Structure 1
Amino acid sequence: MNLKQLRYFLAVAEEGQMTAAAKRLHVAQPPLSYQIKQLELELGVPLFKRLPQGVVVTAAGELLVGYAQQLTQLSATAENKVRALAHGITGTLNLGTVSSSAGVIPNPALAKWLKAHPDVQLAVTEGNTYELLDDLHKRLLDVAVLRTPFNQQHLVCRFFASERMVAVLPQHYTQFSNRRQLRLSDLATLPLIKYRRFNELFHVAFLEQSFEPQFVMTCDDARTAMHWANHQMGVALVPRSLAETYRGDHVLIRSLADRRFETRLALTTTPESLATPLVAGFMAQFDQAEQLD
């Protein structure tokens, strides 16, 4: 199994036809069909079910699609990085961002750096902390903006300032109008919108207070929590920077008094990626302003 076969396989899987895949790859159909057949013989399983109108990926083919995408992407990234190494700070930087990073990045320092390096392009991948962390270790990402807590072993991190989690409430909760902070007990009877990233943290905290909160919604994207809160559908529990970035006109933002509800973002890479001029130059923009851990 080689990269050429995997690229051919992906093209056929995505197009659903040998003819269309051959046209996309700028090759004749017989060599394409031969490479697919050789791949199937090597693996010992059919990857496609042949039909009169085209092909359909088999269960084995579906499994291979995910691996083939990772391998071809990693190959392209490796080729890009090796070539860029000879030219200094140039090329494509694969950047992962969590949904709650909007209040921190992009920022003026990054904009200034990109303007000074017009040959640098950003390829942004959005996901949750655990997904992006996995992609970092697989070398599919060069740098990722992650939110604590996460396992920092074998990583190089630049931490942004700590921030408090907040409750985003509809304005009609007038009992909190003159309050700067809320206790967990204040949330006991409110319809809460929870960002799944902090499931365990909230579970333990409420358990210690001996009451069961009323969660009306749990979501994977903190922006979704804010969207629902802005539409008066509940009280969102999210990081302050994100709340300030996406707040609507008719909500109150109140800090949670419990000190456990502090979090921070981290610009994160691996030691191997940091050895390249492109990643080192990118990370250096945060050296003076942020704490190296």
Structure 2
Amino acid sequence: MDIRQLKYFLAIAEAGQITKAATRLHITQPPLSQQIILLEKELGVQLIERTKKHINLTESGRILQNRAEQIIELINTTIDEIHEAANGISGKLTIGTITSSGRTLIPEFVQRFHQTYPKISFDLRLGDSRRILELLNAGIIEIGLIRLPINTSLYNYITLPKENMVMVALPDAITIGDTETLSFDKIKHNPLLIHRRYETIIINYCRQAGFEPNVLCTSDDNTSLLIWAKLGLGIAIVPETTINLLQDSPLLIQKITNPAIITTAAIIWLKKHTLSTAASHFLEMFKKDPHTEL
């Protein structure tokens, strides 16, 4: 199994047809089919199921597709790092971030960084904290932005400013009076929309307030929770910076009290891993920021 075969296999998986894949690769169909047959023989498994019009990946094929993407990405990253070392401050910076911070916090820092290092391009991946850790551990990204806690034996980190969790809903969804804060006992009759990461703590706080919460939706994506709240389906409980994801929204925002819920994000990178020059400079910017903490 070599890199060329993996690229051929990925082309077929993406195109859904060997003929289309051959066209994209600028080769004829017979040698492409032959390479896949040889790859299947070498691995001793069937990778694709062939029909007259389309191909479908087998379970083994899907596994290979996932690994092949990681392998090709690692090779590309290695090539970029070699070019960076040869040509100075250039190359590509790979960052993974949770969705809310990827759309609010990261652009601000990227803008500052780009002014100093205009030759560095970016590869930005979005996902939940678990996905960001997977990408970091696989070497596909160098820097991650996730919510704490983390395994400090595996990762170095820079703590970002603490955030309050807020309740977000249409104005007529809650009776609030003239206050900017809201305690848990005021929402016992409302359906809740909560991020999976905070599900346990929110449910426990509701029970401490004397009621069993009506959880309408749990999700790994704060944007979805805000959209549901905007549709009047319930009260979303999200980190405060998340509210910037929906501009010109009629949603009402209130900080949670009694008790307050605090969440903290952090910039992380692998210990015992040599960072690229671009990544090191990017981290230096966070280290020098007066609002962060090592």
% same residue: 29
Contact 1:89 1:120 in 2 (8 A): yes
Deviation at 1:130, TM superposition (A): 0.8
The aligned runs of 1:137-286 (5 Å cut-off) are 137-172=137-172, 175-246=175-246, 248-258=248-258, 261-271=261-271, 275-286=275-286
Contact 2:181 2:257 in 1 (8 A): yes
- TM-score, scaled relative to structure 1: 0.89
Identify if the C-alpha distance between structure 1 residues 217 and 25 changes in structure 2 by more than 3 Å, giving closer, same or farther.
Answer: same
* Residues 111-151 of structure 1, C-alpha deviations (whole Å, 9 max, x = no match): 12212222111111110011111111111112122122333
Q: Distance in 2 between matches of 1:45 and 1:76?
A: 27
Match of 1:40 in 2: 40
Q: Which runs of 5+ in 2 are unaligned?
A: none
Q: Which runs of 5+ in 1 are unaligned?
A: none
- Runs of 4+ aligned structure 1 residues displaced above 6 Å come to none
Contact 1:274 1:280 in 2 (8 A): no
Deviation at 1:272, TM superposition (A): 5.2
Match of 1:103 in 2: 104
Match of 1:90 in 2: 90
- TM-score, scaled relative to structure 2: 0.89
Q: Distance in 1 between matches of 2:15 and 2:244?
A: 44
Aligned length: 292
Deviation at 1:263, TM superposition (A): 0.6
Q: Distance in 1 between matches of 2:58 and 2:175?
A: 59
* Residues 200-244 of structure 1, C-alpha deviations (whole Å, 9 max, x = no match): 221232233342011222222111211222333321101111125
Deviation at 1:249, TM superposition (A): 4.4
Contact 1:48 1:56 in 2 (8 A): yes
- The aligned amino acid for 1:150 is I
Identify if the C-alpha distance between structure 1 residues 149 and 100 changes in structure 2 by more than 3 Å, giving closer, same or farther.
Answer: farther
Deviation at 1:198, TM superposition (A): 1.0
Match of 1:127 in 2: 127
In terms of mean alpha carbon deviation, does 40-49 or 278-287 score higher?
Answer: 40-49
RMSD: 2.3
Q: Distance in 2 between matches of 1:85 and 1:180?
A: 53
